[in-house]
Amino acid sequence: MLSKAEEELMNYLWEQKKAFLKDLIEAYPEPKPAVTTVSTLLKRMQDKRFVDYKTEGKARLYFPLVSKESYFGQHLQGLIKNFFNDSPAQFASFFAKQTPLTEAQLEELKSLIDDQLNQKK
């Protein structure tokens, strides 16, 4: 898993799809982090196999090795396992009860579940 700082940087990389170090730093709000800070984060993320790079001239063009959907899917599975006894139903129940959802949002969730049920048939 990624640290909070690594997740923030990864979000910028997912948005840009490919980026040089200067582009990633530019994506941050003020005050911008130091070049060494972002470089260190990228190195750690590369060691964890979340990003890689291609050398273009003297610069490195970074790109994600993991999609945002895949990362957050794994993260969500971990939350369900660790906090909801590995029960997606307990998670769904908690989410539905603890999140202020409108009737339209609940109907949308119901429709998504119905679609998944129909695909399983």
Q: pLDDT, tens digit, for every residue of 15-27?
A: 999 999 999 999 9
Q: pLDDT, tens digit, for every residue of 39-96?
A: 999 999 999 999 999 999 999 999 999 999 999 999 899 889 999 999 988 998 888 8
- Are the CB atoms for 1 and 9 separated by under 8 Å? no
Global confidence as pTM: 0.78
Preceding omega of 31 cis (within 30 degrees of 0):
yes
Task: Output phi, psi for 48, to 5 deg.
Answer: -85, 0
Q: What residues does each domain of the chain span?
A: 4-64, 87-121
- Are the CB atoms for 23 and 16 separated by under 8 Å? yes
Pick the CATH number of 4-64 from 1.20.1250.20, 2.60.40.1760, 1.10.10.10, 1.20.140.10: 1.10.10.10
Q: Is the dihedral of CA 81, 84, 85, 90 positive or negative?
A: negative
